Structures are given as structure tokens and as C-alpha cells.
Amino acid sequence: MSVDDTGSGAGAEGRVDPDAPDPGDDPLALRLEQLILGAERRYTPFQAARSAGVSMELASRFWRAMGFADIGQAKALTEADVLALRRLAGLVEAGLLSEAMAVQVARSTGQTTARLAEWQIDSFLEGLTEPPEPGMTRTEVTYPIIELLLPELEEFLVYVWRRQLAASAGRVVQNVDDAEMVDRRLAVAFADLVGFTRLTRRMEEEELGELVEAFETTAADLVAARGGRLIKTLGDEVLYVADDAATAADIALRLVETLSNDETMPELRVGMAFGTVTTRMGDVFGTTVNLASRLTSIAPRDAVLVDSAFAEELVRTGVAPASEAEAAEAAAAAEKEGETPPDYRFALQPMWQRSVRGLGMVEPWLLARRGETG
């Protein structure tokens, strides 16, 4: 709910009378808002900022970062809004966060929870295409659902957030040095549904939505279960990372195998790269990410392409031979010495070098499980 920074109230040209009711406000919608927020509207943005002891300029930056719409100086804020401002400003005053970092915290939280809120409301109402009783409005249907679910979902949200925070903090603690907290060596993978654009022209919207949801659910479950981290979903594409190449390789192959056995799903292609990645606000950036994306666009259907650095990492860690000839030599040497031969999990097949837009010549490798290459 970003605002103008003047702090002026009623009477200014183009401003909203802070005490005037919004003609679009539905009484039931206001009841629903009060149920969710736990308080009545009491403050204009200027009053909320003043009560929190925060400048109007900083309050506006926080609200805009959280993704709230401009409400001028309408009386639409509650005690919770004042408390949120006070807490963020307090973290800055205590030196725990810089002002820029506090704005980033507000922005990342706002963006994440905005999508979560939209998804939850859509999910709750998905099965309620017809009201339980004739004449009931959408708001009347929504109110009792949220009244029942709100306290449980709030507790669950905090639980999941704490779990994710603990996992993220653990990864940071295990890093060798502070530089790795921002720039780290990771395996980056894009998994892309083949021919998705054509599907959008042939399928009904509901059917297309179900396909995307099934793909995202399958990918998210596999990535989490096998030790990767899902960065984001883009409808027909998912981006994930892993701390090591072997984990990313296993996830990629399992994704291809799972979707190829599902007749309702299009074919999948995966591109992966290994190298230094910049992490910021839950996202990843850099040449390694760009390379993984480019490899995805040239990968064959139902196949996984990796860059040379990824292939070298698999060989270095002993989970793939540099070639089948090397694997045969290692097996023969182990047999001669009465030892167990190397247990390679993956096979690598070099592909033709090719020019990739913006990255020059790259040497892709086709990744498969041992015994699957021709």
C-alpha cells in the first residue's frame, strides 16, 4: 500500500479523504479483511508512520517493497501495520540490518507471500464453483473457510519457514569462507517441457493448468527428495540447484524417467552446468546459470545435456568415467588386483562442439545412467 510522501490528508486536490468510506468497499469484504488482519482499519499511512516513529519516506519504501498498492491517505491501516513498520525500523536502528537490506527483506517477503496467498485462495475456492446454498456470494463462501483455516495455516507457515531457515543457515555454516555465502560453486539445472507452446493452443485452460501443476509438483517433490533446491518454476520450466554434480545429475535423470513413463506428460529436456553462481534473495545468477539455460534449449528430447565443467566434476568425484574405454581399463585393473571395480553411476558421451549465443563455443556432453548409452 504505497503512498505519497506528503502526509497530507483530506482537502488536497487528488487526495483521498482519510475518513471517507471507499465506495467500492463491500461490508462483507471488510469483515473478511478484519478477520484476516485481526484488527479494524484505524490509521492513514501518514498516521501509521508517525505512530511507528518512522519517516513517511522510509514507510513508503517499506510498503512499496512489500508490494502494496498506493492508497493515498485513506484510513486503511491497522495496529499490525504500525508494528511491522516499527519492527523493521528497529532492526535498522539497532544496526542489525542496513536500510537497503531491510527493504530487501520486505521485498523478498512480500513477493513470496503474495504468490502464496493467491495460490491458497485459488485452491480453497477451486471446488466451490457452486455456492453451498442458493444466493450465497463468493465472499460469504470464503469467510467461513478462512475462519477455520487461518490459525492452522498461520502456524504451519511459521513452521515451514523455520525449517527452511534452519536448512539455509546450515548450508551457510558449512561453507568454507564468507565469499561462498554469495558466490558459490553449484550445479545448476533447467528442466523444460518440449512443445509447451503448441500445447497451449490445443488444450483447454483448465486442462493446461492441471498439466502445469502436475509437472511442477512432480519436479518439486523429486528435487526436494533427492537433495536439491528448487529455485523457481516458470510454468513449462523449473530451475533447481544442487551442491554437487552427482545429486543434480540423479535428479535430472529421474525427472526424465518419471515424465517419460507418464503418457499425459510432454517430453522433457534438461540442461545443466557446474560452476560459480551468485545467489541473491533466493535466486541464482551468472554465466553458469545462463549456460545451463542455453544447454536446455539445444538438448534432445527426453535427454540431459551438461557442460564440460559438469562432466569433469562427475569424473573427478568418481561417479562417472571419462570414457567407456577408461571404465573398461579400470575394471580390468581391479580384477587383476582382486579388487572391486569402480561403481560408476553415470555415463558421459561427448557431443559436437557448437556455438551458443552469448557464450561462444561450448562442448556439451550427453548424460545417462551406466548401461543406457549406445
Tens of pLDDT, residue by residue over 61-104, are 999 989 888 888 889 999 999 999 999 999 999 999 999 889 98
Pair 215, 270: CB distance under 8 Å: no
Q: What is the pLDDT of residue 90?
A: 93
Residue type, 323: S
| 260 falls within a domain | yes
Cβ–Cβ contacts within 10 Å for residue 364, how many?
A: 26
Instruction: Tell me: do 73 and 202 sit in the same domain.
Output: no
Dist. CA 335–CA 352, nearest whole Å: 34
**Structural domain count, the chain:** 2
Instruction: Tell me: do 102 and 230 sit in the same domain.
Output: no
Tens of pLDDT, residue by residue over 123-168, are 776 655 555 666 666 667 777 878 888 899 899 999 998 998 888 7
Instruction: Tell me: do 51 and 187 sit in the same domain.
Output: no
Domain at 225, CATH number: 3.30.70.1230
Any idea which of 36-40, 307-311, 327-331 has the lowest mean pLDDT? 327-331
Any idea which of 86-95, 299-308, 324-333 has the lowest mean pLDDT? 324-333
Confidence of residue 324 (pLDDT cuts 50, 70, 90): confident
DSSP 212-252: HHHHHHHHHHHHHHTT-EEEEE-SSEEEEEESSHHHHHHHH
Dist. CA 227–CA 64, nearest whole Å: 35
Confidence of residue 1 (pLDDT cuts 50, 70, 90): low
Instruction: Tell me: do 330 and 192 sit in the same domain.
Output: yes
Instruction: Tell me: do 117 and 190 sit in the same domain.
Output: no
Which of 6-20, 240-254, 277-291 has the highest average model confidence (pLDDT)?
240-254
Confidence of residue 8 (pLDDT cuts 50, 70, 90): very low
Instruction: Tell me: do 210 and 321 sit in the same domain.
Output: yes
Dist. CA 367–CA 249, nearest whole Å: 8
Pair 182, 173: CB distance under 8 Å: no
Does 11 or 331 have the greater pLDDT score? Answer: 331
Q: What is the pLDDT of residue 325?
A: 83
Compute φ and ψ for 93, nearest 5 degrees.
-65, -35
* pLDDT exceeds 80 at position 284: yes
Residue type, 53: G
Instruction: Tell me: do 205 and 96 sit in the same domain.
Output: no
Radius of gyration of the chain (CA): 26
Instruction: Give the relative orientation of helices 27-37 and 138-174 as an angle to the nearest 10 degrees.
Output: 30
Instruction: Tell me: do 118 and 185 sit in the same domain.
Output: no
**Three cell numbers written together for 364:** 556439451
Percent of the chain at pLDDT > 70 equals: 85
* pLDDT exceeds 90 at position 317: yes
| 142 falls within a domain | no
Across 285-301, average pLDDT? 93
DSSP 134-166: TT--HHHHHHHHHHHHHHHHHHHHHHHHHHHHH
| 152 falls within a domain | no
| 270 falls within a domain | yes
Q: What is the pLDDT of residue 94?
A: 93
CA angle 110, 282, 68 (to 5 degrees): 10
| 306 falls within a domain | yes
CA angle 124, 219, 272 (to 5 degrees): 145
| 212 falls within a domain | yes
Instruction: Tell me: do 107 and 185 sit in the same domain.
Output: no
Q: H or E segment at 347?
A: strand 346-350
Structural domain boundaries, residue 255: 180-369
Calculate the CA 131 to chain-centre distance.
33
